[in-house]
Amino acid sequence: MDAAYISAFFGLGGALIGGLTSFLTTWLTQHTQIREMRRDAARKIRQELFNAFITEAARLHADALSHEKDDVAELVQLYALVARLRLLASQRVVNAAEHVMSSIVETYLAPNRTLHEIRTLAEEGKMNFLVEFGEACRAELGLHPAR
């Protein structure tokens, strides 16, 4: 074989390897960016769902403190949020949400509380019914508790 042919083959081989390397690098970069975008979108959806659950649970708990009810119509929105949590969140978050829901139902079944009783409960730390849920959500979202 002539030296010119060998040089040409090595030149083509180098160009082929360089082109493949460039293609694979670009493909890997794009693939990683798309995966991160999907992960961020899913995290945002979970975050919005967690916020909606907290808002609805707080509203219902406040209502339950001053109203006795046997009607479950008020709880429909909260049950729907828990069902959505089952689709998108970890089992730890779902368990915490179910615990919050049970707490709200028990509060509805209890006698009405006066404002003085509510203040006493708050001072004793018995109004923190969302703590476990919040911790589970922070863990799932990869957030660290504020220090």
- pLDDT one-digit tens code per residue, 110-146: 888 888 888 888 888 777 889 999 999 999 988 765 4
> CA nearest 63: which of 124, 122, 17, 104?
104
The tally of domains found in the chain comes to 1
Q: Say if 75 falls within a structural domain.
A: yes
Q: Say if 9 falls within a structural domain.
A: no
Q: Say if 134 falls within a structural domain.
A: yes
CA distances (Å), origin 97, targets 25, 68, 109, 131: 43, 21, 19, 11
CA gap 77, 59 in Å, rounded: 11
Q: Which domain holds residue 110?
A: 43-141
The pLDDT of residue 147 is: 45
